[in-house]
Structure 1
């Protein structure tokens, strides 16, 4: 099956199906994590993000269930955040080296990278990771059992309103974060914009059969923005780590070079992200989802009529 809502089927059943599939895949990645922590934990967290995006999409249909479960999987993702952040910091060094080959030609970034790799290995080999995987597994298994308690409106008009409300809410979050990022430019503003963009991209996948055309170009642009905002987030995390002096990253000369390249990368990424986000989220969220609501009502109602008449969807 796919990470996409089928408008020919009742909304409750479709959302239960997708939740079960994504949580099941997260559990499979957790099972593989002890032997392949770097890849498996990253894939698990991606599945959990899918789950949380779906819960946000249908939140107005069953607020108690969606809010409780969203917090549950937020906590699970938090258990696995440390190892993923360690990997992201190494990837940041690699991107800096590729982006600024002349400035990073010496050994400075290599020394920093070696220390980050050593820290990553400590996390992977420590007892804390095993405990985190165990707790995450238990939480996901319990979450699977609760899926059947979810109840959403299945009538076409009400179901369409639920989907449109969820999509509009995320677009409002993105627009608000964009406005703050343009006016203040703080790390949290860009982080909020990244989360909203990622969620919107997942909503485009879920609503692929309902979102008004053209959708492919928008999905590609959202994915590219999400990747760039992810790179910016990693740069900002690295800068915060460097400024705090929490962990020895190298000699003063090494840290000076790292700080210089981080500032240059941050400036370039912020400029690009703001331009791309303005293109995607500069429009009114209400206007953007009005067509979605109409199309969803028509498609869901059409599916219901065909079902009643015995016509294949």
Structure 2
């Protein structure tokens, strides 16, 4: 099933179709995680983000429903986050080894990587175990599937266009605000908010690729690249916070050489992310939303006319 809204079809049916397909994928990844947790949980979290982006896009059509379902999938994502964080720590070390090969030995990065791999293999889901976490997550997805089939959105072309434009506008405004906060304060949470907004916007561009004013593809590619850079920065923030708090798996003396490399990586990523985000969101949100609403009305009206003709 394609992750895009077809303007020839009713909005309610399209959202149910896309959401249903994403839920099926999430369940498949969760079940696969019983044998291959690292890869499958990462894939499940990616599909959850896509589903939550869809819910944010159509939230103006049914705010209460979309908020409740967004909370459902946010909680599922949090329940399986531990294993993903353990893998992200290892990936951060791998990037440091690649970016600073001349300092890798002095910082003992190979030994730190081995320690992180042992930490991951020991498990991060507590006494209940991963199986119980996955069982609960799958059950919640099944409940979510039943709920999504009850969703009703405005299907008239004018109203549907306004729902999509307003949903996209909310994310663009959130992105601009997060960018301003990241520039002025630069706290990890500010960059985390920016990352969430960029990831959601990238998903919206995929969902609206037939409705968003051209050119869509290069903008989506830039958003996806920025999302990856912000993800790397987030992983650096997480590792530094664990080290500073002496929190597992960093319970011993502070690895000073590692901290120095993390600071260098953080500085470069901050600069890159702020510059790329400024370019991506240089257009005013309201202006972009007006363009989207205008094109969406035209395309949705054309789609309804084609359906009636058939």
Task: After TM superposition, give the deviation of residue 283 of structure 1 in Å.
Answer: 2.1
Could you say what secondary structure the match of 1:214 adopts? coil
Aligned to 1:151: 152
Aligned to 1:201: 202
Could you say what secondary structure the match of 2:149 adopts? helix
Task: After TM superposition, give the deviation of residue 123 of structure 1 in Å.
Answer: 1.4
Aligned to 2:170: 169
For structure 2, the residue ranges without an aligned partner over 5 or more in a row are none
Could you say what secondary structure the match of 1:123 adopts? coil
Matches within 5 A, 1:218-233: 218-233=219-234
Q: Are residue 137 (structure 1) and residue 138 (structure 2) matched? A: yes
Aligned to 1:31: 31
Matches within 5 A, 1:46-61: 46-61=46-61
Could you list the per-position Cα deviations for residues 200-255 of structure 1 after superposition, in whole angstroms to 9, with x for gaps in the alignment?
00000000100000111111110110000000000000000011111254874x70
Aligned to 1:303: 303
Could you list the per-position Cα deviations for residues 38-63 of structure 1 after superposition, in whole angstroms to 9, with x for gaps in the alignment?
01101111111111000000001011
Aligned to 1:92: 92
Could you say what secondary structure the match of 2:102 adopts? coil
Instruction: Give the stretch that moved more between structures: 121-130 or 71-80.
Output: 121-130
Aligned to 2:180: 179
Task: After TM superposition, give the deviation of residue 304 of structure 1 in Å.
Answer: 1.0
Asked whether the equivalents of residues 37 and 124 of structure 1 are also in contact (C-alpha less than 8 Å), the reply is: no
Could you list the per-position Cα deviations for residues 4-23 of structure 1 after superposition, in whole angstroms to 9, with x for gaps in the alignment?
00000000000000110000
Aligned to 2:245: 244
Aligned to 1:275: 275
Could you list the per-position Cα deviations for residues 262-310 of structure 1 after superposition, in whole angstroms to 9, with x for gaps in the alignment?
0000000000000000001132100112111000000001111222233
Task: After TM superposition, give the deviation of residue 145 of structure 1 in Å.
Answer: 1.0
Task: After TM superposition, give the deviation of residue 68 of structure 1 in Å.
Answer: 0.6
How far apart, in 1, do the equivalents of 2:100 and 2:49 lie?
32
How far apart, in 2, do the equivalents of 1:173 and 1:98 lie?
34
Task: After TM superposition, give the deviation of residue 104 of structure 1 in Å.
Answer: 1.0
Paired residues in the alignment total: 309
For structure 1, the residue ranges without an aligned partner over 5 or more in a row are none
Q: Are residue 294 (structure 1) and residue 294 (structure 2) matched? A: yes
How far apart, in 1, do the equivalents of 2:124 and 2:185 lie?
37
Aligned to 2:217: 216
Aligned to 1:63: 63
Asked whether the equivalents of residues 111 and 250 of structure 1 are also in contact (C-alpha less than 8 Å), the reply is: no
Asked whether the equivalents of residues 23 and 140 of structure 1 are also in contact (C-alpha less than 8 Å), the reply is: yes
How far apart, in 2, do the equivalents of 1:222 and 1:303 lie?
28
Instruction: Supply the RMSD in Å over aligned alpha carbons.
Output: 1.4
Asked whether the equivalents of residues 38 and 84 of structure 2 are also in contact (C-alpha less than 8 Å), the reply is: yes
How far apart, in 2, do the equivalents of 1:216 and 1:193 lie?
21
Q: Are residue 14 (structure 1) and residue 8 (structure 2) matched? A: no
